[in-house]
Amino acid sequence: MVAGNESSEGPHQLRIGLRRLRTAFAVFGESLGKDGLAPLSAVA
């Protein structure tokens, strides 16, 4: 779906979302602990 779209807004928003998710993992990772964070990091 992203490849067929002429607009670059979709991929841009995807990159922003993933960057924010990684930042949240970095900030709140200690609260989740390594066991809680590992499955989420693998998906992201």
**Dist. CA 7–CA 34, nearest whole Å:** 38
Domain that holds residue 18: 8-44
**Against a cut of 0.85, is the pTM above it?**
no
pLDDT on residue 21: 86
pLDDT on residue 16: 95
Number of domains into which the chain is organized: 1
Sign for the pseudo-dihedral over CA of 9, 11, 39, 36: negative
pLDDT tens-place string over residues 2-29: 556 577 889 999 999 999 988 988 888 7
DSSP state of 1: -
3 in any annotated domain: no
CB of 41 closer than 8 Å to CB of 25: yes
